[in-house]
Structure 1
Amino acid sequence: MSLTTQSRTLPMAIMIYLERSASAKPASAGATFTENAVVIDDGKTYMGETAITAWLAGGAAEFEYTTTQLRTEKDESSTTVVNRVEGNFPGRSVDLNYRFELDAESGLIQALTISI
Structure 2
Amino acid sequence: MSLQLPSPVADYVAANARLDLDGMINPIAADAVLLDNGKRFAGHAEIRGLLKEMVVGLKAVFTPDTIREEEGRVVVEGPAHGDFPGSPIRFTYRFDLEDDAIKVVEITA
TM-score range, shorter chain: 0.7 to 0.9
Q: Which structure 2 residue ranges, 5 or more long, are not aligned?
A: none
% identical equivalent positions: 23
Q: Does 1:5 find its partner at 2:26?
A: no
Once residues 99 and 26 of structure 1 are traced to their aligned partners in structure 2, the CA distance between those partners, rounded to angstroms, is 20
**Mean alpha-carbon deviation: is it higher for 71-80 or for 20-29?**
20-29
Q: In structure 1, which of residues 38, 41, 49 is the aligned counterpart of residue 44 of structure 2?
A: 49
Q: Does 1:68 find its partner at 2:67?
A: no
**Structure 1 24/74 Cα, relative in aligned 2: closer, same or farther at 3 Å?**
same
Q: Which structure 1 residue ranges, 5 or more long, are not aligned?
A: none
Report the CA distance between 1:97 and its aligned residue.
0.2
Larger Rg: 1
- AA aligned to 1:73 is R
Once residues 61 and 50 of structure 2 are traced to their aligned partners in structure 1, the CA distance between those partners, rounded to angstroms, is 18
The equivalences for 1:1-116 within 5 A come to: 4-6=1-3, 9-103=4-98, 106-116=99-109
- AA aligned to 2:106 is T
* Root mean square deviation of aligned Cα: 1.7
- AA aligned to 1:69 is P
Contact 2:19–2:56 (Cα < 8 Å) also in 1? no
**Structure 1 27/55 Cα, relative in aligned 2: closer, same or farther at 3 Å?**
farther
Once residues 19 and 10 of structure 1 are traced to their aligned partners in structure 2, the CA distance between those partners, rounded to angstroms, is 11
* Post-superposition CA distance 1:27-54 (Å, at most 9, x none): 4211111121000113311101111122
How many residues end up aligned between the 2 structures? 109
Q: Which runs of 4+ in 1 moved over 3 A?
A: none
